[in-house]
Structure 1
């Protein structure tokens, strides 16, 4: 009978296999997706889903009630709790950082101690080995002695003579071996000493930073590690002293010979003198030389890559023709202190800067000049010269375009303001345009002092043309060699008028007052009726700060000028040779000084239309000139034919300007100015018969050509602008012209502002 197949009744629901065993941690029912082994819509697990859902809802309600209760609570407690949590987290972070640093330092110390222990163990094992060898040698000698004695007993009487000779020889050999034992101890000591001396520099070089860091934990003020100080001292020694490189090679050679001789003496049987000689032969052998490697290493140490480890030094940023005069003035200022430290950083090679400074013909008088190559716009380079520890920072203007130079000076001030450590000293900035002074002061703030060089020199030349000899007076006042400015308070002068203060100092010249009620503002040449108040200080020009003091008022006859007293001005004719960037400013100053009807002749190689455009762009309105009239002439100031076309014999003053736009260097500009000066003096001397003159100077004979030029210069004042101080000797010897050392005067002003 066929078997019947029993089938399960059909149901409206699909059939699913039994669920798998539950995992160790059962997730919530809502996390089960449709792709899970147990479908979400399985009615078989509907009751389980409801239970889980109800439990989750109860948990959510509890959490929400707790959160609502926390929110509805008092807000100050929440803020206080959050603040405490933040404080605790901050303390944990700080403690974690401190713990990491201390743990790192401990690990380094453990490493250093481990290395020291290994070296000690190695040295002790080496010493133990040599001591055991000595004991073995001593035992062997004793065995030989015992053997010889035993042999002597066993010999016959007839062989005593021969045995005596043998025993004598053996005894001598034994004595030699016994005497040789102390020399072996010396060999061991020499070997250990040589190994120690060779290992000490490597240990110092490797672990000197760890020692400095451990010291910095005890002394917070120490900021520079010992390895940086050593690198700086080596760099300074190699840079300052010209004999440093051969001396270093000599010391290294001697140390190598001595250490090699000690090592050879410890491992060989030769004497110390023989080992030293053998070590010298090894060093002197040309095949063992490493000249190029050693020389390259010493040269790399002179590249100036080390950080300047100095404090209270003067920092100069930039390079220009004024650097030589500036260094000279700073050296003179620091002479009374035994010398100072001046650091120069520019975008030039360090060795080239040192070579150019060495060519300067003046004595540094104990002042050390350190050069570094870098950009003042990069904070890393500024940190390399210790800008935050400098006593004064001088920013030099670049030679060339004035606008670009001032823009770079502004960026340099911005970089200095961004130093995180802050600046200890003040900043002295050399600017080329007076209009940029306010902008630089706005960016830098109170620590910034500006010196507008170009405009000051132009106005000074005009004053020197009207009052010959004024330039030398300015040199004496601004320089540190002669009289200087001093400011001091004198209580006995309180309540006295300034006109009485002027005659109270027999050895000084009062020229201003620092008014205490005006927040220390200095007023130059105040009114004669001004009465000194308590706290006011007097600004004087004196030889030194201890060479002057107020004295009793002398008897003075007081008079008064008539009310209608007037000194009439006469018309003048002035010649300006060459072109300056601030020509429009000089024209406006001359228009304010000269009498109506005066003439200003402008002789240069700038075309007429371009000349008018430059003057107009500079802010000059020719139609508003009241006292002078402009006369334009085109030509080259070093060509005699062009100069002869001018009425040189009729000018009252001749100003020869340094044409910086034509020449690339100060020496070339001075050469051009000297050529123009000699041509003008020669032309004036040959036109002397047309002038009535009997005055001449007595330094040269009247018949000489220099005497003729001096006679010509007596009739008209000739002022030459000189850039290089070395050109001053040529003009001072000939005495045919007055001169204005523009670069040196600017350097004096920068040095005085930096030092005071």
Structure 2
């Protein structure tokens, strides 16, 4: 039985038109000419026959129709001998073809240029700009901090290269970052691992290049390939080759896994700085867990909106001691020396002499607020009777709790063993066979100070947490569980499907755990000392925790460090020492160890007391304001003339070796 088509006339006409267009350019021109003649000739005939002044003879009217058709189709419509008419029409057709082709070429070129600009394939012609390679959630805090750092500059530019749509990137940055002020943000589409496409953002004329680690397990390999591509795109001994006689471009990259750190450093070359997310986060987790409030100190120092590290000229302090420099700045805190060879000495001996090539590293609101004062004038503010004479308190053994497990957990245990006092115990609660197996390896490793015990359990289960007696611990560390089962577990028929957002799921589990811990703390009427690791700063805002709680947000932390180093390369050495156990680092010490509590003292007195203990006092934290936003009781770089009344529960923030 034959099936009949019942399509409408519109569909049949559309089908025939599509078939006509598919016939090619020649057929399309021919049919277009016939269609024009089919319309123009009858219309011209009507015009001539309806014109009262038209010729009366048939030949005259036909001539008038020809003239009208020629003028309409821009082919002249000349009248004369057949040869004359043919030559006239030929010239008109040639002129028409030439003009049409020229217009087509111009239109095509303009459209191609517009599409090229829209796709982000053009080259950025900037100098002394900052290049950001890669796209992840870290790009927004990086650009935000760079905009803040460039706020006092007349002209600055940021060039972003990523395998994303240019318009989409610009829209996302505008939405998430907001007003960029005087800084121009230019986005380009391209692969960061292709040296040719890398040249679109002109890394050879940039003052700094930041390589962001993309999300996912293969992110570190991508960072290494990008660094190698950068080396190929910028010929020379390394990606930090001298730029246009203006010095070296600072190359700052980050990798997540500590096992890839050495490889990335080799790819970055001698002028590159590679941060290891795992190492830095693990060290800060340990430091903050033992000193609640320390995360607030680092947030203040790493954010361009607050007080930061600046090197200032020694001036008339050359030949004098570093101890004298401590009381030579009323509105800044001296914390170290930047030597002429680029090396940095944090918290040097108070008797160290400042050389002519040395610069003093200070914590200050801005580079122009580090104004020197007469040391004798500030020394007159020191109250000798208010300085505490008792020695430092011995660190007691502690009971610590680690909830969750990921690849950073062994580093946390290793760092804890370097910090804690002998006899300290750590209970680890991990979920799943994979976590338990890897935790067992870390737990059974030789430890000199720390005793570690492993417990298997789900940290999001309130029954598991209830059995732990959480309020009895001195500190609790909660880390994200990104690995719940081995991807190649024995006996599995198929490999486990990869989680598209493991860090997001880890944050979700952390939020649930914090909910239960808050309920436990409320029931025990006790404030738990919590230190929490998160990957997304947006999730930190949702966290059910007390005001001023300690959060180590890995993405934002690394972004802040990268931008600080890109603006001041010497800070790479400063942060390296701050984040290792054997170096000088920030501590929150009891205020009673430094000054007499209960009476007002000047901060100059605190600085002098810390100097006698070979430390640099940079601020304080008040217990009574620890739950009050936005500073939560933390005050960095107070005026030396500022007077404060400390209680037994307050802390002094010092830079010291231990």
- Please give the TM-score of this superposition, normalised by the length of structure 1: 0.53
| Cα separation, partners in 2 of 1:388 and 1:605, compared to 1, 3 Å | same
Match of 2:367 in 1: 545
Alpha-carbon shift at residue 592 of structure 1 (Å): 2.2
Could you tell me which runs of 5 or more consecutive residues in structure 2 were left unpaired when the two chains were aligned: 1-94, 244-248, 485-498, 569-658
Q: How many residues align?
A: 442
1:605 is aligned, of 431, 444, 457, to: 431
Match of 1:378 in 2: 194
Does structure 2 retain, via aligned residues, the 8 Å contact 1:429–1:451? yes
Does structure 2 retain, via aligned residues, the 8 Å contact 1:598–1:628? yes
Match of 2:5 in 1: none
1:500 is aligned, of 324, 328, 350, to: 324
Alpha-carbon shift at residue 547 of structure 1 (Å): 1.3
| Cα separation, partners in 2 of 1:520 and 1:371, compared to 1, 3 Å | closer
Alpha-carbon shift at residue 587 of structure 1 (Å): 0.8
Task: Tell me whether 1:679 sits opposite 2:516 in the alignment.
Answer: yes
Match of 2:163 in 1: 347
Q: Distance in 1 between matches of 2:417 and 2:220?
A: 28
Alpha-carbon shift at residue 300 of structure 1 (Å): 6.6
Does structure 1 retain, via aligned residues, the 8 Å contact 2:203–2:234? no
Q: Distance in 1 between matches of 2:115 and 2:150?
A: 31
Match of 2:507 in 1: 670
Give deviations 1:596-633, integer Å, cap 9, x for gaps.
Answer: 222211112143x75454674xxx58352132221212
Helix, strand or coil at the partner of 2:119: coil
Match of 2:556 in 1: 744
Alpha-carbon shift at residue 739 of structure 1 (Å): 2.0
Q: Distance in 2 between matches of 1:489 and 1:561?
A: 33
Task: Tell me whether 1:481 sits opposite 2:305 in the alignment.
Answer: yes
Higher helix share: 1
Higher strand share: 2
Match of 2:617 in 1: none
1:722 is aligned, of 527, 534, 544, to: 534
Q: Distance in 1 between matches of 2:481 and 2:186?
A: 32
Which is greater in Rg? 1
Does structure 2 retain, via aligned residues, the 8 Å contact 1:331–1:367? yes
| Cα separation, partners in 2 of 1:735 and 1:325, compared to 1, 3 Å | same
Task: Tell me whether 1:573 sits opposite 2:399 in the alignment.
Answer: yes
Match of 1:754 in 2: 566
RMSD of aligned Cα (Å): 3.5
Helix, strand or coil at the partner of 2:426: strand
Give deviations 1:402-446, integer Å, cap 9, x for gaps.
Answer: xx4333322222221122556532211112344654444444333
Task: Tell me whether 1:645 sits opposite 2:467 in the alignment.
Answer: yes
| Cα separation, partners in 2 of 1:348 and 1:665, compared to 1, 3 Å | farther
Q: Distance in 2 between matches of 1:734 and 1:565?
A: 33
Where do 1:371-520 residues align within 5 Å? Answer: 371-401=187-217, 404-419=218-233, 424=243, 425-434=249-258, 436-516=260-340, 519-520=341-342
Helix, strand or coil at the partner of 1:418: helix
Alpha-carbon shift at residue 732 of structure 1 (Å): 9.0
- Bigger relative contact order, structure 1 or 2 (CA pairs below 8 A, ≥6 apart): 2
Q: Distance in 2 between matches of 1:730 and 1:597?
A: 36
Does structure 2 retain, via aligned residues, the 8 Å contact 1:328–1:363? no
Does structure 2 retain, via aligned residues, the 8 Å contact 1:731–1:737? no
2:453 is aligned, of 631, 637, 659, to: 631
Does structure 2 retain, via aligned residues, the 8 Å contact 1:604–1:636? yes
Q: Distance in 1 between matches of 2:317 and 2:105?
A: 64
Q: Distance in 2 between matches of 1:413 and 1:297?
A: 30
Could you tell me which runs of 5 or more consecutive residues in structure 1 were left unpaired when the two chains were aligned: 1-194, 208-226, 235-293, 689-710
